[in-house]
Amino acid sequence: DPGILHSTIDDEIVLFSGDTNSYFNLNRTGSIIWELIENPISVQELINQLATRFQIAPSEITNDVMEYIIPLEKKGIIKKSVS
């Protein structure tokens, strides 16, 4: 989203939404997710890439990923696209 500004500080990313005048701080894992979704990616592909990166089964992180991205979507930070 072009209305989102972000800056990396150490292993974290700070986001600013100009639309809502809100700041969001992403921890290391959140920062990795942010980097992976900078280009369009399906939720399943996101889960698969994270599972590979952290060497765990996709089924073990699916709920965690969803708990992370759903609030970002609800706050307008990320948008679901339909292909």
Tell me the per-residue pLDDT of 33-52, one tens digit each, with 9 for 90 and over. 888 988 889 999 999 999 99
DSSP E strands in 1-83: the ranges are: 4-9, 12-17, 22-26
Helices H / strands E in the chain, number of each: 3, 3
Long-range contacts (CB closer than 8 Å, 24 or more residues apart) made by 62-71: 65/33, 68/29, 68/30, 68/33, 69/33, 69/37, 69/43
- Mean of the per-residue pLDDT values for the chain? 85
The region that residue 16 occupies, defined by phi over 0 for left and psi between -120 and 50 for alpha, beta otherwise, is beta
Q: Is the pLDDT of residue 1 over 60?
A: no
